[in-house]
C-alpha cells in the first residue's frame, strides 16, 4: 500500500511479523516488498494510567518495558536495515526514513470503547495507558547524526513527521502528539542509531496543559496569541537570535532553563506540523541543520540534547498554542552536565547557569564548516 | 551568640571571613570561638529572575555560579572541619551539625525595599533573584551517609531544619522554604561530604504553586485537606507502605514517578517543620534512617536520590499544604538510571517503569542490618 505525500515523498506501509506497521518514506520509487523474517512475536499488554493527586497529573505505568537492549554494537543494531546476519526492525536492506510502531510502547491503542476518567480525585484515578508510540529512523547510516543529514533527507523527515501528525490526529483516543529526538547517553539514549520517537497521548500532557491555561488567560485578557507575541519580542530584542531565514527564526528564549536551549519557530505561526505550507516546510531543513551544527560547535563535541516539537493539542486550544521546536541540552560545559536536582526536580524551580544572551552569542560565534 | 533549641540543642552563630553566617548546632556544650582564618572574600552580586512566559514560571539566572569545585578529595573537602592544612567553610576542628550561608548562592537576600513584580506578561517579566541559599552539613565525618548517622544525630539535624524554617519564615522576602539533600554523582552532587541545602524562595516555586491550586480546588469542593486524604488512602490501601511507627508513615505513592520513590509523612499533619511537636520530631530519626537503609538495600548499592521536605508556603495556603519528605531515586536498576527525556522533560508526562506496589514490596523485603 503506497500513497503520495508532499515533497516528492511516497509512503509504503508493510506489516512486521508481530503485526506492527512499518512505514517507508521514499523519494526514489523504491519497492518495499521484503517480508519481516523474524519469528512471530507477541505484543505486550496495555499499561495503566494513574492520577498523581498532589498535582492532578497522569503518570503512565509501563512495567512491561524492562529488558530493552542497551547500546548494542552496530552489527546488532535493531534500527539498521536488515542483513542476512542481523534481522532488524526494518526488513529492507536500505531505507531513507522509516516509522514503525514501538516494540515496547509506554502507550498503546485501546481496545473497543475507551474513555479516560475525569480527573475527579481519589475515586476515578486510574485508566488504561492509551495512546501510541512510534519510532522514526532518520537514515540507514548508523554513524550519522541529525546535523549530518542532507537537507533533502531532513525534508523527507519533516514530511514524515507531518504525515504522522495528520494520521494520528484522526484517532479519537489521541489528544496530543509530540515527535521528539533524544540524543546522547547523557539523556538515556540506549540506541546510537540516529532516530526519534513520536508519542501520541490520550491525555493532554502536564506541560501542555499548563501552556494552554496560560495562553488562554492571555487571550482572554488581551485578545492575542501569546506565542506570537513571544516570537515578536525575540525578533525585536534581537540579541538572543541564533539563526533565521525568511520563514523560521531560532532563538535562545528570554527565560531559558538550560545553558543551551534553542527554540525554532515558523515566522507565520501554525497550530501544528500538519498545517505547515510547502514553502515554510521547504525552509526548515537548512536552518534545522544549522542550529544543530551550532550546538555541536560550541564546545566542538557532540552535545546531548532533547529536541521536541511542541504542537497544539489535536482537539482543543488550536487557536492558543503554536508549533515550535524546542532543543534543550543538558550539557553546560565540556565536563559538566545540568542536573535536575533539589530545586528543579522537587520544586520545579529552575536555576540557569548562563545568561541567555551569552549563550546565544556563543552559538552565533560558531564557525560553520 | 548562643541560643537554646529543642532536643537539648544549642545553636551558636559565628561570622565567616566574608561576613557569611555559620550556625553550629551542638548537644555537648561546645564553645565555638574559632575564627575563620581564610582571607576576606567577596560575595557575588544578586542574580536575576526572569518569567518564562509560556508557563508563567520564574527562572533564576545565576550566572555567577560557574567555577564550583568538583568532587575534591577528602583532604581538600570544603565541608570538613578545618585543619592546619585545609581551611574549610567550618573554622572549628569538629562539629555536629552546621548550617552556613552558601558561598555561591542562586538566590540572595535583596537590599532595601524589594518586591517581585506581578506576573503580568512581557512588560513585568524580570526581578532580582531574591531568597536565601544555605548549606547544612550532617556530620564532620566525610565518609558517612545520612543512613549511617546515629538517631541522636538525625534528631539534631531535624532540630536544625526546624530552626532554619522558623527563622527564615520571619524574613518578609521569603515565601517558601525547601530543605533538601542531593546524594550521588548521578544527580550532580559535586561534594561527597554528607550535606544538604536549604533554598528559601522569594516566590512560590512552580511545583508548589500547582499543588496549592489543586489542594485549594479540592478544599472548595469537599471541605477537606487533600494531603490528609492521600495519606489516609495509603494507610487504608496498605500495600504501598514501606515502614511506619506511631507518628510517621512511609509509602511509595499510588502514582509514583520514579521506580524508587518514597514519601514520609507525619500521621497528624502539620503545615511545616516549625509546627512539629517534640513527640513527633522524636519519632522521625528511626524511620528516616530505616527508609534510607531500605533504599540502599534494594540493590545493595548506594542509591542516588533527592530527598526534599515539602512544606506549606510561609504566608499562604497553610491550611492547604502539608509537611512531608519526598525521596526520589533516579536509579531503576543496578546499571540503569531513569532519565527525564522527551516525554518527561518536554511534556512533563512521566513514564514509570515499575508498579508502585512492586517497588514497595522490594523496599519492605530488604533485610536491615
Range with top average pLDDT, A181-185, A270-274, B71-75, B118-122: A270-274
Residues contacting A11, CB < 8 A, separation 6+: A2, A3, A4, A5, A23, A24, A25, A26, A160, A163
Q: Residue B45 — very low, low, confident or very high, per pLDDT cuts 50/70/90? A: confident
Same domain, A29 and A169: yes
Asked if A348 and B210 come within 8 Å (Cβ–Cβ), the reply is yes
Counting residues of chain A whose pLDDT is more than 90, the rounded percentage is 80
Name the residue among B353, B73, B66, B63 with its Cα closest to residue B193: B73
Same domain, A147 and A220: no
**Domain membership of residue B258 as a residue range:** 208-365
Q: B251 in contact with A at a CB cutoff of 8 Å?
A: no
Q: Residue A1 — very low, low, confident or very high, per pLDDT cuts 50/70/90? A: confident
Which pLDDT tens digit goes with each residue over A184-238?
Answer: 888 788 788 999 999 999 999 999 999 999 999 999 999 999 999 999 999 999 9
Nearest CA-CA distance, residue A16 and chain B, Å: 26
Q: Round the average pLDDT of chain B to a whole number and report it.
A: 92
Instruction: Determine if residue A183 is left, alpha or beta; phi over 0 gives left, psi from -120 to 50 gives alpha, anything else beta.
Output: beta
Same domain, B273 and B334: yes
Checking if the pLDDT of A33 tops 60, the result is yes
Same domain, A216 and A82: no
Average pLDDT in the B240-268 region?
97
B 311-350 near A (Cβ less than 8 A): 326, 328, 333, 335-343, 345-350
Same domain, A285 and A187: no
Same domain, B272 and B341: yes
Number of domains in chain B: 2
Average pLDDT in the A3-20 region?
96
Which pLDDT tens digit goes with each residue over A77-112?
Answer: 999 999 988 999 999 999 999 999 999 899 999 988
Find out whether B263 is annotated in a ligand binding site: no
Q: What is the per-residue pLDDT for A284?
A: 98
Q: Which pairs count as long-range contacts for B212-217, CB under 8 Å and 24+ apart, including other chains? A: B212/B313, B212/B316, B212/B317, B212/B320, B212/B321, B214/A53, B214/A54, B214/A55, B214/A56, B215/B317, B215/B320, B215/B321, B216/B317, B216/B320
Q: What is the per-residue pLDDT for A165?
A: 98
Binding residues of A for Zn(2+), as ranges, are 77, 80, 142, 193
CA distance A328 to B231: 36
Q: Round the average pLDDT of chain A to a whole number and report it.
A: 92
Which pLDDT tens digit goes with each residue over B223-237?
Answer: 999 999 999 999 999
Asked if A214 and B354 come within 8 Å (Cβ–Cβ), the reply is no
Q: Which residues of A touch B59 (CB under 8 A)?
A: 255-257, 350-352
| Cβ B268 vs Cβ B297: under 8 Å | no
Catalytic, B195? Answer yes
Average pLDDT in the B326-353 region?
89
Same domain, B84 and B128: yes
Query: Among B41-45, B233-237, B302-306, B353-357, which is the least confidently predicted range?
Result: B41-45
Q: Which residues of A touch B352 (CB under 8 A)?
A: 59-63
Checking if the pLDDT of B64 tops 70, the result is no
Q: What is the per-residue pLDDT for B121?
A: 60
| Cβ B77 vs Cβ B116: under 8 Å | no
Q: Residue A126 — very low, low, confident or very high, per pLDDT cuts 50/70/90? A: confident
DSSP annotation string for A324-337: EEEEEESEEETTEE
Q: A204, A229, A246 — which closes off a domain?
A: A204
Q: What is the per-residue pLDDT for B194?
A: 96
Q: What is the per-residue pLDDT for A132?
A: 96
Residue A191 sits at the vertex; the CA angle it makes with A334 and A264, to the nearest 5 degrees, is 60
Q: What is the per-residue pLDDT for B100?
A: 98
Catalytic choice (B195, B247, B263, B310): B195
Q: A180, A204, A228 — which closes off a domain?
A: A204
Q: Residue A339 — very low, low, confident or very high, per pLDDT cuts 50/70/90? A: confident
Q: Residue A12 — very low, low, confident or very high, per pLDDT cuts 50/70/90? A: very high
Query: Phi first, then psi: what are they for A263, rounded to 5°?
Result: -110, 135
SS3 B175: coil
Q: Residue B112 — very low, low, confident or very high, per pLDDT cuts 50/70/90? A: confident
Of residues B182 and B188, more confidence is placed in B182
Which pLDDT tens digit goes with each residue over A46-73?
Answer: 889 999 999 999 999 986 655 566 778 8
Same domain, A345 and A332: yes
Nearest CA-CA distance, residue A262 and chain B, Å: 13
Asked if A56 and B343 come within 8 Å (Cβ–Cβ), the reply is no
Strand ranges (E), A238-310: 241-244, 248-251, 260-266, 305-310
Counting residues of chain B whose pLDDT is more than 70, the rounded percentage is 96
Name the residue among B86, B96, B192 with its Cα closest to residue B140: B96
Same domain, A257 and A121: no
Same domain, A177 and A266: no
Average pLDDT in the B31-50 region?
88
Give the CATH number for residue B354. 3.30.428.10
Residues contacting A69, CB < 8 A, separation 6+: A76, A78, A190, A191
Residues contacting A239, CB < 8 A, separation 6+: A357, A360, A361
Q: Residue A331 — very low, low, confident or very high, per pLDDT cuts 50/70/90? A: confident
Q: B211 in contact with A at a CB cutoff of 8 Å?
A: yes
Same domain, B44 and B156: yes
Asked if B122 and A229 come within 8 Å (Cβ–Cβ), the reply is yes
Which pLDDT tens digit goes with each residue over B277-299?
Answer: 999 999 999 999 999 999 999 99
Asked if B349 and A199 come within 8 Å (Cβ–Cβ), the reply is yes
Checking if the pLDDT of B263 tops 70, the result is yes
Same domain, A171 and A219: no
Q: Residue B192 — very low, low, confident or very high, per pLDDT cuts 50/70/90? A: confident
Q: Residue B69 — very low, low, confident or very high, per pLDDT cuts 50/70/90? A: low
Q: Which residue of A has its CA nearest to B106?
A: A351
A46: its cell numbers: 496495555
Q: Residue A25 — very low, low, confident or very high, per pLDDT cuts 50/70/90? A: very high
Average pLDDT in the B20-38 region?
96
Query: Phi first, then psi: what are they for B295, rounded to 5°?
Result: -60, -50
CA distance B240 to B227: 16
B99: its cell numbers: 548550617
Query: Among A53-62, B166-175, B336-345, which is the least confidently predicted range?
Result: B336-345
Asked if B310 and A346 come within 8 Å (Cβ–Cβ), the reply is yes
Q: What is the per-residue pLDDT for B295?
A: 97
Q: Residue B9 — very low, low, confident or very high, per pLDDT cuts 50/70/90? A: very high
Q: B142, B169, B204 — which closes off a domain?
A: B204
Checking if the pLDDT of B340 tops 90, the result is no
Q: Which residues of B touch A65 (CB under 8 A)?
A: 351, 353
SS3 B245: coil
Q: B235 in contact with A at a CB cutoff of 8 Å?
A: no
Amino acid at each position: 500500500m503506497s500513497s503520495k505525500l508532499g515533497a516528492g515523498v511516497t509512503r509504503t506501509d508493510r506489516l512486521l511479523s508481530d503485526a506492527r506497521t512499518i512505514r517507508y518514506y521514499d523519494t526514489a520509487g523504491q519497492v518495499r516488498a521484503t517480508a519481516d523474517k523474524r519469528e512471530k512475536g507477541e505484543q505486550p499488554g496495555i499499561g495503566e494510567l494513574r492520577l498523581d493527586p498532589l498535582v492532578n497529573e497522569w503518570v503512565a505505568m509501563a512495567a512491561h518495558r524492562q529488558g530493552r537492549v542497551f547500546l548494542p554494537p552496530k552489527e546488532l543494531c535493531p534500527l539498521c536495515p536488515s542483513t542476512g546476519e542481523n534481522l532488524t526492525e526494518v526488513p529492507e536492506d536500505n531505507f531513507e526514513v522509516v516509522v514503525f510502531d514501538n516494540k515496547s510502547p509506554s502507550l498503546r491503542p485501546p481496545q473497543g470503547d475507551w474513555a479516560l476518567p475525569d480527573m475527579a480525585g481519589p475515586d476515578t484515578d486510574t485508566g488504561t495507558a492509551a495512546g501510541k508510540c512510534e519510532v522514526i529512523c532518520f537514515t540507514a547510516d548508523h554513524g550519522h547524526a541529525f546535523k549530518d543529514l542532507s537537507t533533502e533527507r531532513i525534508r523527507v523527515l519533516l514530511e514524515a513527521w507531518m504525515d504522522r501528525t495528520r494520521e494520528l490526529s484522526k484517532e479519537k483516543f489521541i489528544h496530543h502528539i509530540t515527535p521528539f529526538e533524544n540524543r546522547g547517553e547523557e539523556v538515556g539514549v540506549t540506541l546510537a542509531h540516529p532516530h526519534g520517537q513520536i508519542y501520541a497521548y490520550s491525555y493532554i500532557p502536564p506541560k501542555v496543559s499548563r501552556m494552554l491555561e496560560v495562553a488562554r488567560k492571555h487571550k482572554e485578557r488581551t485578545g492575542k496569541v501569546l506565542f506570537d507575541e513571544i516570537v515578536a519580542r525575540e525578533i525585536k530584542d534581537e540579541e538572543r537570535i541564533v539563526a533565521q531565514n525568511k520563514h523560521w527564526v531560532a532563538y535562545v528564549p528570554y527565560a531559558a532553563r538550560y545553558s543551551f536551549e534553542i527554540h525554532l519557530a515558523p515566522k507565520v505561526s501554525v497550530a501544528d506540523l500538519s498545517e505547515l505550507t510547502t514553502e515554510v516546510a521547504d525552509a526548515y531543513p537548512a536552518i534545522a541543520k544549522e542550529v544543530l551544527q551550532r550546538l555541536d560547535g560550541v564546545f566542538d563535541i557532540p552535545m546531548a540534547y532533547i529536541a521536541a516539537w511542541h504542537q497544539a493539542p489535536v482537539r482543543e486550544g488550536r487557536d492558543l498554542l503554536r508549533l515550535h521546536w524546542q532543543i534543550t541540552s543538558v550539557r553546560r560545559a565540556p565536563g559538566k552536565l545540568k542536573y535536575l536536582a533539589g530545586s528543579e526536580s522537587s520544586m520545579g524551580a529552575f536555576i540557569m547557569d548562563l545568561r541567555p544572551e551569552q549563550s546565544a552569542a556563543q552559538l552565533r560565534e560558531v564557525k560553520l564548516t
